[in-house]
């Protein structure tokens, strides 16, 4: 999930292999002294965390709670640092493969078509997920995934007028009121997939001739008006020295904390995902900041949020019928509101840690009192509830086709 260029990839995936020591080791007998079945799960490491806790307590609690409810199953949960370097997470399609050591694994559903031949087809599962997330779990009429998280781009700031912004032009007008010496807009737009995803999102928001889909963006050549809108947004990161670390790769590969530091230092707006707010609050040693407001990242004149969807899928080659039932039980445990609550509200982290502000795909999470009383979560919900999904087929080829040309055009236009 290379879209997570700052918060998710740099803060969460900084440590070596973290493995939940499964209580099944040395305890291979379940109820009635029968042998326990084993279930191995690989999860994405894109969860904000803090040192020294990282994922140890999280994995231990997941394993303990699931096995308490399913004593006949020995669970092993794996989170890895270098998830892009092998198996299902490798971003080179020629090197990507289904992980042979996992019965269940979590993927970005833009890659669903790529992995579908190796996955178990699922029957209808009533998980109360957002309609856009449910769409992403399908290829045609066939379901292959259980959605877990959703994600989209937001803009954070401390000016209450930010809530009035609905377009790039509105944003530029607000940012023009910024104080000299501070970057107006900060963020990382140079990550793998990031710019092409922003283009596809901007394409949906740019049309003056009726609604357009992300799929439309992926089947056409780069559209000049969309490129211009995207370039105008990126140009707001340019400082008085004409440097733009948001797009030139500096923030992405050399100074990952740069956007957070600049926002703390006075930048008017920070582009990022919902969990970027966790990073902001950790940096400022706060558990909450109601002065921060968030809106959809404006990419055109017609605001239309577009969400990425993550989901759990089942490895058809090593997870037969009974294993699939255990896998669905695990997915239901992970997705239920009570589990999502302690994960999203940092129940595994030291006291005083802010909420992670991850966005569960399941709608009834947002009915929990803590969520309903949190203004940030309510703002995120308003965006996700009206979002459309990135498609589950064709994105990889679209990216390969446009990313080099797109970067040249955006960087060329934003320097004009």
- Phi, psi of 99, rounded to the nearest 5 degrees: -70, 125
Query: What's the number of CA atoms in the CB half-sphere (13 Å) around residue 55?
Result: 25
Domains 7-151+308-377 and 154-306+391-414 share a fold: yes
Q: At CA 399, angle to CA 393 and CA 401, rounded to 5?
A: 110
Characterize 238-272 residue by residue with b for buried, 16 or more Cβ atoms within 10 angstroms of its Cβ, and e for exposed: beeeeebbbbbebbbeeebebbbebbeeebbbbbb
What angle do helix axes 395-414 and 224-235 make, rounded to 10 degrees?
Answer: 60
Which class is domain 154-306+391-414?
A: alpha beta
| Per-residue confidence (pLDDT) for residue 1, from 0 to 100 | 38
| Per-residue confidence (pLDDT) for residue 89, from 0 to 100 | 56
CATH of segment(s) 7-151+308-377: 3.40.190.10
- Of 122, 20, 23, the C-alpha closest to 73 is 23
Two tokens, residue 397: 């080829």
pTM reported for the whole predicted model: 0.90
CA separation, residue 321 to residues 125, 160, 224 (Å): 16, 53, 51
Two tokens, residue 12: 């969460």
Mean pLDDT, the chain cut into blocks of 10 residues (416 residues total)? 40 38 52 83 88 82 97 92 55 60 92 92 84 95 96 95 90 79 87 86 82 83 91 89 89 91 93 97 94 94 92 95 96 97 96 96 97 97 95 87 87 67
Domain spans of the chain? 7-151+308-377, 154-306+391-414
- Phi, psi of 312, rounded to the nearest 5 degrees: -90, 135
| Per-residue confidence (pLDDT) for residue 18, from 0 to 100 | 44
């Amino acid at each position: 999930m290379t879209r997570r260029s700052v918060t998710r990839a740099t803060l969460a995936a900084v440590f070596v292999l973290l493995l939940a020591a499964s209580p099944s080791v040395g305890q291979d007998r379940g109820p009635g002294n029968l042998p326990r079945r084993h279930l191995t799960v690989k999860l994405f490491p894109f969860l904000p965390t803090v040192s020294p806790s990282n994922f140890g307590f999280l994995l231990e609690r997941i394993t303990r709670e699931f096995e308490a409810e399913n004593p006949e199953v020995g669970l092993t949960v794996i989170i890895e640092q270098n998830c892009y370097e092998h198996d299902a997470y490798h971003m080179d399609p020629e090197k990507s493969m289904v992980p042979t050591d996992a019965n269940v694994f979590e993927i970005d559903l833009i890659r669903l078509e790529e992995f579908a031949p190796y996955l178990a087809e699922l029957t209808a599962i009533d998980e109360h997920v957002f309609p856009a997330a449910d769409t992403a779990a399908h290829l045609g009429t066939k379901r292959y995934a259980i959605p877990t998280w959703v994600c989209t781009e937001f803009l954070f700031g401390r000016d209450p007028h930010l809530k009035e912004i609905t377009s790039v032009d509105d944003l530029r007008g607000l940012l023009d009121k910024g104080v000299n010496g501070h970057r107006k807009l900060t963020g990382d737009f140079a990550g793998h997939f990031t710019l092409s995803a922003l283009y596809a999102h901007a394409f949906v928001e740019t049309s003056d001739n009726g609604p357009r889909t992300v799929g439309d963006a992926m089947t056409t050549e780069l559209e000049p008006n969309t490129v211009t809108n995207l370039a105008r947004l990126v140009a707001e990161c340019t400082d008085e020295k004409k440097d733009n670390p948001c797009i030139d790769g500096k923030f992405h590969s050399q100074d990952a904390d740069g956007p957070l530091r600049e926002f703390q230092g006075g930048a008017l707006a920070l582009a990022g995902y919902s969990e970027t707010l966790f990073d902001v609050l950790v940096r400022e040693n706060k558990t909450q900041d109601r002065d921060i407001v968030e809106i959809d990242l404006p990419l055109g004149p017609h605001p239309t949020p577009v969400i990425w969807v993550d989901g759990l899928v089942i490895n058809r080659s090593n997870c037969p019928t009974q294993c699939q039932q255990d896998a669905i039980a695990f997915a239901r445990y992970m997705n239920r509101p009570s589990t999502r609550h302690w994960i999203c509200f940092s129940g595994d982290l030291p006291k005083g840690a802010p909420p992670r502000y991850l966005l569960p795909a399941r709608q009834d999470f947002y009915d929990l009192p803590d969520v309903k009383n949190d203004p940030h979560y309510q703002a995120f919900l308003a965006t996700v509830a009206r979002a459309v999904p990135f498609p589950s087929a064709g994105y990889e080829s679209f990216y390969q086709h446009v990313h080099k040309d797109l970067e040249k055009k955006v960087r060329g236009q934003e320097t004009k």
